[in-house]
Amino acid sequence: MFMTCHYFSLVLNRNIEINVIVPTPEGNEQITAEGKQMRYDYEKGLPVVYLLHGAYGDNSSWMRFSSIERYAQAHNCIAVMAGVENSFYQDMEHGSRYYTYMTEELPAYITRIFPASGKREDTFIAGFSMGGYGAWFLGLSRPDLYAKAASMSGALDIGKVYEAGKGGSMDSPFRWEDCFGEKTENLSGSDRDLLQLLKEDKEKGLLPELYQSCGDQDFLFTINQEVHRKIEAMGIRTEYHEVPGHMHNWDFWDQDIRRILDWMLPA
């Protein structure tokens, strides 16, 4: 069951649109009634996967370019898709408070309106490109909310991505100062740096499980390799995949989200 929901956000101070998939009792579309098994296990609350878009995207990206409705149905989970512009999922210095929206208001809305579990062990987050950074950023800055966080082709070293965009060696549609304010020139080592957040979470003893993947033809491949090596040096284990022949596109992300859902919600 696919729904587009419109409602007024107090955090964002405007009407917004989100997409939500809720698995239906009869399963995937049936051609015949033979072998049909109805599932009505909504009472205890279904697991929720928040799916984050990349730069230039919005809440429609996953529905338009992937088969996520079939995958969510097969894994019996709710999938939630919101749009945050090119914000890097921040409470922007000049703009909207997307971090607060994603970690506070949206989960409250989902768990009250839909048959969704509010438990940490049933709550997951995944994204690609800017959304890969976003999934880890939200997961590591609020490890109390998410059991697992997955990044595909993620912009995981925010300092290096900024420098590459500033220097013109990487396409950069972002208004960095609007997103990060005075921290823009010093993102590495700040509270927006994923490795810094990972170090702090490790010290606190509360970490979501992490998944990282990138195609070896992706322009962010070298950054992903470097981040993985640094995480290994910290003694932290992650689910890591280098995928031969794949680039920064939906052919890869539509394929990899199936592996991610298997990892998040093993049968």
| 94 Cβ neighbours under 8 A, 6+ residues apart | 175, 177, 178, 181
Query: Residue type at 94?
Result: H
User: What's residue 245's pLDDT?
Assistant: 98
CB atoms within 10 A of CB 86: 19
Backbone angles phi, psi at 52, to 5 degrees: -105, 140
Query: Residue type at 92?
Result: M
Write out pLDDT tens, residues 223-258.
999 999 999 999 999 999 999 999 999 999 999 999
Q: Which of 183, 179, 184, 189 is nearest to 91 (CA)?
A: 179
User: What's residue 32's pLDDT?
Assistant: 57
The reported pTM is 0.95
Per-residue b or e along 157-169, where b marks 16 or more CB atoms closer than 10 Å to that residue's CB: bbbbbbebbeeee
Q: How far apart are CA 200 and CA 206, in angstroms?
A: 9
Domain 2-24+41-262 fold: Rossmann fold (3.40.50)
User: What's residue 42's pLDDT?
Assistant: 85
Q: How far apart are CA 139 and CA 134, in angstroms?
A: 8
In 131-267, DSSP assigns E strands to 148-152, 209-215, 239-243
Write out pLDDT tens, residues 50-60.
999 999 999 99
Contacts 24+ apart (CB under 8 A), 259-262: 259/213, 260/126, 260/150, 260/152, 260/211, 260/213, 261/49, 261/71, 261/72, 261/74, 261/75, 261/77, 262/75
User: What's residue 8's pLDDT?
Assistant: 98
Given a cut of 70, the residues of the chain with pLDDT beneath it are: 27-36, 40, 169
Q: How far apart are the first and last CA of the chain?
A: 21
Write down the domain spans for the chain.
Answer: 2-24+41-262
